[in-house]
Structure 1
Amino acid sequence: MARWIESWPPGASAGTGGTYPGKRLGLPATGVNSVAGLGRRFAALAIDWLLAYGIAALLTGPGALDDPNLGWSVLGIWYLLTAVPVAVFGASAGMTALGIRVASLGSAAVIGVPRALLRTAMTALVVPPLVRDEDGRGWHDRATRTVVVRSRA
């Protein structure tokens, strides 16, 4: 039986029989292939961004923090570190570390180069990933017909 606090908001479901992110897409409520949460997605993005920052600092040299173009270098390196692995493997380094991946809503195993490039460009704009639907998909996922799911429990 559901606790009273679980059912007080309008439209709240009691128990697992209600709606959950990914139900409309045919995904499970929990475990492998369930929709990844925002916290895990944000942490994966932070890992990828820190990797790009480190690589850019190594390439720039000792005065990296004084370089006015460091931000653009970080953005370009992050773009490559994210778009290429997502297109080929379905996950960036940060996503792999946190057990999530980008899945196609079609039958394709990976999303491919054009959709990965568009998805990554929209992620760089910041707002598209933050505006999410009831399935936890941002504008960038809706535009590319993708969903971020957990790859391990």
Structure 2
Amino acid sequence: MDKRQAIGSWLSGPREALGEAGVDLGYPGEQLGLPQTGPGSIARPGRRLGALAVDWALCLLIAYGLLTDGYNQTTGNWALLVFFALGVLTIGTVGCTPGKRLFGLRIVPQDGGRLNPLRALLRTVLLCLALPALIWDRDGRGLHDRLARTIEVRG
């Protein structure tokens, strides 16, 4: 293997490198029993980031307008607290935040059934820490979703 091929596989990610080695990983969500496309399929990163941006902007607006007297260093802290409350309350009750609703996403338990509010609490706590959300598995699920045993799917 020459250096360009090694760098190319590194830039393309492990899925591409394993695919070149003849390992079939299937589509994201296949091992979870989810469809490849359409409702119920794994949410793609672009939609997830868009929903997160909408939710964060909403939380900043609430923190700026209701909880502080102008934008300052504590506005971000208040926004994180509002983000936490928004996530726990909305995901724990209706399965999605306003941003997720706008982008057609929802959170479902990995084992089916109704989403337990404790799972929503754990997922939101881990998401507020940010690091778990930056670590993804081959299905595109963040560590916060894996630990809470939830899946973010298209609605």
Please indicate the TM-score interval, normalised by the length of the shorter structure: 0.7 to 0.9
Q: Report deviation, 1:112.
A: 2.1
Please name the residue that 1:19 is paired with. 26
Whether 1:133 aligns to 2:142 is no
C-alpha distance in structure 2 between counterparts of 1:18 and 1:69, whole Å? 45
Give % identity. Answer: 37
**Change over 3 Å in CA distance of 1:75–1:147 after alignment to 2:** same
Give CA-to-partner distance per residue, 1:48-67, whole Å, 9 cap, x none: 00001111111145x4213x
**What residue identity is the alignment partner of 1:85?**
T
C-alpha distance in structure 1 between counterparts of 2:121 and 2:40, whole Å? 23
In structure 1, which of residues 30, 34, 39 is the aligned counterpart of residue 41 of structure 2? Answer: 34
* Equivalent residues in 2 for 1:84-103, closer than 5 Å: 84-103=89-108
Please name the residue that 2:78 is paired with. 73
Large movers: runs of 4+ above 3 Å: none
Whether 1:115 aligns to 2:122 is no
Give CA-to-partner distance per residue, 1:39-96, whole Å, 9 cap, x none: 11111111000001111111145x4213x32121111111111111101111000000
TM-score of the aligned structures, taking structure 1 as reference length: 0.83
Q: Report deviation, 1:35.
A: 0.2
In structure 2, which of residues 62, 75, 86 is the aligned counterpart of residue 55 of structure 1? Answer: 62
TM-score of the aligned structures, taking structure 2 as reference length: 0.82
**What residue identity is the alignment partner of 1:43?**
G
Q: Report deviation, 1:18.
A: 6.2
Structure with greater helix share of residues: 2
Give the number of equivalent residue pairs: 137
Please name the residue that 1:3 is paired with. none
| Equivalent position SS for 1:128 | helix
Gaps of 5+ in 1: 1-8
